[in-house]
Chains A and B, each alone.
Chain A
Amino acid sequence: MSNYFSNIFHTTKSLFTGLGVTIREMFRKPVTVQYPREVIPVSPHFRGPLELLKKEEGGFRCIACENCARNCPSSCLTVVSRRSEESKKKVLVSFTQDFTRCSLCGICVEVCPASALAYSSTDVYLAGFTREEFLLDLIARANKGEGP
């Protein structure tokens, strides 16, 4: 019998605790983001498609050593280069990433001796209608960012 009344007491108490929680939450600011009008800032650690970095004086940092392409477990990087006539150094001709196969493991970024690769953290809206849209020409993407 005493159990019966203590039951009532504890239940009532916990019921009011619950009501208190919900009414407090009700008057706090909603945490949802109204997506098309508001966007969350992208985390700097976001792993988007690769990005070719540039030297401060201009030109790509990439030395076309192809370490990234050789180490890529998904074989999704293609680096094409030619040997320059005068300096006998390799010059980057094209750098493509097949983003449909990339697993974003990050080995390419780690092995790059010239620190020429990074993940882009700007392009988070990765959606398209064809596969070909994800064969990314990184040189064109890097140049596009400079503006007209």
Chain B
Amino acid sequence: MDFSFLPPELLRMILSILLVVTVVFANAIFMVYAERKVAGHVQRRFGPYEVGWHGVLQPFVDALKLMGKELVVPRNASPFLFRFAPVLAFTPVVIPFLVFPFAEKLTVLDLDIGLVLILAISSINIMAILVAGWSSNNKYGLFGAMRSVAQDISYEIPILLSLLSVALITNSFNLRTIVQAQIGGVWFCLLQPVAFIIYFIAAVAETNRAPFDLPESESELTAGFHTEYSGMGFGLFYLGEYTNMFIACSVAAAVFLGGWSGLPLPADAWTGVIWYFLKVYLLMFIMLWIRWTYPRVRFDQLMNLSWKYLIPFSLLNLIITAVVVKLT
């Protein structure tokens, strides 16, 4: 077929949106499988094993099952908000993919405020959780939602402060510029180890992953904010969670681990994406590993960690960075 009648910019947009949506879904499918396999092997089980070779088809049949189920709206729930919340959890997470520097020539939008955009958009997730918990007219849902808001607000600060110290060094919020600055010198995880560690801890909390999974703590709140959700509504929350994990790890890979840089490959400008994904999934694996190692923290411990440890250290780190940048 001949697409030359279309403006090239439109064609590029359609292609990149298709690619981005594909990555989002493929990532969710892969992570469902990886999570269950890692969980299994950490507990010395096999994990999914029956559907397909070593259970590789399990996420697909799970998705089919979820799609086949009815989304039950509880009585006295707010029907519009109840249906809207999963969509709100899932749709905005696609946007940060537009600014990720997957490889030197593989960025959808070369935005100067990329980092700010990602942070702004990924905060919408909190809204989705709040709307879901509130609209489902369930005490557990509401508790989960409230905890989530308190948690995400307190962990947003260390994330911002730790990323800000990198932005001070590179003097830019553009992710491509940040990656290129690392290719010239050292990766920022060596230059800013404290910021990297703080960012990663806060990112685990920000994506509501165990040991900070208080919004859905299943032992206290049945399932927290998605207690009342069934079928694909529940599925979309999971899709959103895994995509948020990808976003958090992707930012870490770009800002601290040198993005697409790595050992030289043929056609570097395009194949750098391999290194990028390798780094992202390494960080994702560490997130899974953390989840299946630690028990859930208590709520006061969660707040202590953020306000008494992460924020002071990231502030100190930021000040030292600012002074050093000013002096040199």
Contacts and interface: CB of A to CB of B under 8 A. Distances in A.
Contact of B46 (A15, A23, A28, A32): A32
Interface in B208-264: none
Contact of B42 (A22, A29, A31, A34): A22
B42 A26 contact: yes
A19 B289 contact: yes
B206 to A, nearest CB: 19
Interface of A: 8, 15, 18-19, 21-23, 25-32, 34
A8 B197 CA distance: 13
B52 to A, nearest CB: 15
Interface stretch (B72-80, B123-131, B158-166, B290-298): B290-298
Contact of B44 (A8, A15, A28): A28
Contact of B45 (A18, A19, A21, A32): A32
Contact of A18 (B40, B43, B46, B293): B293
B41 interface: yes
A31 B43 CA distance: 9
Contacts of A25: 41-44
B1 to A, nearest CB: 48
5 contacts: A18-B294, A19-B290, A21-B293, A25-B43, A30-B40
B49 interface: yes
Contacts of B40: 30
Contacts of B46: 30, 32, 34
Interface of B: 38, 40-46, 49, 289-290, 292-294, 309
A63 B229 CA distance: 67
A30 B289 contact: no
A143 to B, nearest CB: 39
Contacts of B41: 25-27, 30
Nearest to B47: A30
Contacts of A21: 293
Contacts of B290: 19
B216 to A, nearest CB: 21
B65 to A, nearest CB: 22
A18 B291 CA distance: 11
A21 B294 CA distance: 11
B293 A34 contact: no
Contacts of A34: 46, 49
Contact of A22 (B45, B49, B292, B309): B292
Q: Which residue, of B42, B49, B294, has the highest number of chain A Cβ atoms within 10 A?
A: B42
A143 B263 CA distance: 72
Contacts of B294: 15, 18
Contacts of B293: 18-19, 21-22
Contacts of A8: 309
Given A21-B293, A31-B45, 13 more contacts: A18-B294, A19-B290, A22-B42, A22-B292, A23-B289, A25-B43, A26-B289, A30-B40, A30-B41, A30-B46, A31-B44, A32-B46, A34-B49
A25 B38 CA distance: 11
A15 B295 CA distance: 11
Contacts of A28: 44
A31 B42 CA distance: 11
B189 to A, nearest CB: 17
B236 to A, nearest CB: 30
A45 B179 CA distance: 66
Q: Which residue, of B38, B41, B45, has the highest number of chain A Cβ atoms within 10 A?
A: B41
Contacts of B45: 30-32
A133 to B, nearest CB: 30
B38 A26 contact: yes
B44 A30 contact: yes
Nearest to A21: B293
Nearest to B305: A11
Contacts of A26: 38, 41-42, 289
